[in-house]
Chains A and B, each alone.
Chain A
Amino acid sequence: MKSAFRSAICATLTFSLRSLNPTPHRTSLILLPRYVVCFAGKPSPFTSMATGESGSVAPPSPTVHTLEKQFEEFRHQLDDSGSLRERIRSVALEIESANRLMQSSLLLIHQSRPVPEVLEKAKGQIVVLRELFSKLAEIIRECPGQYYRYHGDWRTETQTVVSLLAFMHWLETESLLLHAEAEEKLGLNPMEFGLDTEDYLIGICFMSNDLPRYVVNQVTAGDYDCPRKVLKFLTDLHSAFRMLNLRNDFLRKKFDGMKYDLRKVEEVQYDVKIRGLATNGKSKGEQGD
């Protein structure tokens, strides 16, 4: 019996050896009946061939070797990209903590601290961020063209960066931080490691979310002109966003949320105006809105 079993293995072995040969081989099928003879003729349930058959008994066939070799190669490749990702993630974590520092200094704006003072402190983190983004760019340089493979690992952090920078920019200039300006602030080279346009736009939406709170607190602190300015800015921004054909994605959702920011600011502006708090000479010329 045992020898019959062996010959069956031999048959499979030659079969696999042949199968390395790319030319089709009918002959192999002729071996089949012989194999079945010993196979079906040994119904002993103790040495079940179906579960412990040739694969584990016989030395692995050449097919298995080439298979193993290829998969080993994949394993190396994936290990490499895995460690690259680890490095990216650690930089992303650093970006996140820089964001937090920047945000916490920026939050003082709600306690009506003077703008220049608040900005100065928050701006301290921009240098750190530039450094971190150049680190990211350096890592990505190791795998040209794969920016978007790892993009997900710094996406949300970058969106937050944009929202903070845009808010600071607005406080300073009352204008929108444009995409190219954001790249410049972060020291990014768009040819190599740019700021993804969608990330930028999402960041801008995040910034818009912060504005209602800012307006409310400014008015509480006695700055009655603030709602008008913010409302004008948000109205312009909202109408600019309406130029975009958005897909049904996250950006679309954020953009849809922007109208609630707009409404909230409108309400504040209404409250201020109806009580005659906003009347002063400076803003008369633009009272049309």
Chain B
Amino acid sequence: MLAAAAKKPRTLTTNAADSEPNTMKDAFAKYASYLNDLNEKRERVVKASRDITMNSKKVIFQVHRISKHNKEEVLEKAEKDLAAVMDQHISRLVKELQGTDFWKLRRAYSPGVQEYVEAATLCNFCKNGTLLDLDEINASLRVLSDSTVEPLQINVLDYLLGIADLTGELMRLAIGRISDGELEFAQKICRFVREIYRELTLIAPKMDDSYDMKTKMDVMLQSVIKVENACFSVHVRGSEYIPFLGSEDASFSLLGVPDDE
């Protein structure tokens, strides 16, 4: 009928389709092995990332054990543990993230790398009072790769996200230091955190997926405010804190006496 005329020119090509299931199957076998490899790789990266996170967290906890008198030993141990995180776990990422995989799998390793940045910068701040910059971290990662592989270099985004988390840890550290009587240290943290927040406000909107960073900025502001309020409390009620300072330093006895007039 009418239909027969309409379909005839097309049915002529059906012969070509007969061989198709095989080429299709062959092609899909290729896609399947591509996907399998990719998923296995992703799984390995996720595992490494989780180990990095877990062990970096331990380093951070170690740093929080700091007090007036054990600073050196605490930081020494923290740094040793941090180096171990790099040697044992970050090294696992190097081979996996060659070429375009570095960006393709970013979501798989990003949490771990952020946590590592957080731990490394926290250690460094306690030791040197400065912000460990990205180039320094990346320079330290170079030892993980020989000449046959590209070195793993942390990207700006993960670094900044790690820095954003750092402020939360610094807030805890500041509160701890205040209750331990290290007011100067707390003040220093306050200035530092404030400066980081200020710098990041300019950068946050420019970041690739700025939504993540936006929430972190809100949290960060809360941390900054907490530190400021703590410093404020010590300042306003400064003298009330003296009995709790527990310092053997004689000069503290002068504190109750106003030095003007």
Mark A residues whose CB is within 8 Å of B. Answer: 1, 4, 12, 15-16, 19-22, 24, 29, 31-43, 45, 48-51, 53-55, 61, 63-64, 66-68, 70-71, 74-75, 77-79, 81-82, 85, 112, 115, 145-149, 151, 172-176, 178-180, 197-198, 200-201, 221-226, 229, 232-233, 236-237, 240-241, 243-247, 280, 282-283
Contacts and interface: CB of A to CB of B under 8 A. Distances in A.
A55 B203 contact: no
Given A22-B128, A32-B182, A179-B27, A245 B32 contact: yes
Contact of A45 (B30, B187, B236, B251): B236
A32 B183 contact: yes
B194 interface: yes
A51 B175 CA distance: 16
A63 B129 contact: yes
A151 to B, nearest CB: 8
B228 interface: yes
A286 B14 CA distance: 11
A145 B152 CA distance: 13
Interface residues on B, range: 35 or more
B236 A223 contact: no
A283 to B, nearest CB: 8
Contacts, number: 231
B147 interface: no
Contacts of B184: 12, 15, 29, 31-32, 35-36
The A contact surface, by secondary structure, is helix
Nearest to B227: A50
B65 interface: no
Contacts of B260: 1, 4, 41-42
Contacts of A29: 68, 71, 182, 184
Closest 10 CB pairs of A and B: A40-B238, A19-B129, A50-B232, A50-B235, A222-B3, A148-B103, A148-B104, A78-B206, A240-B28, A71-B199
B12 to A, nearest CB: 10
Nearest to A31: B184
Interface string B55-66: 000000000000
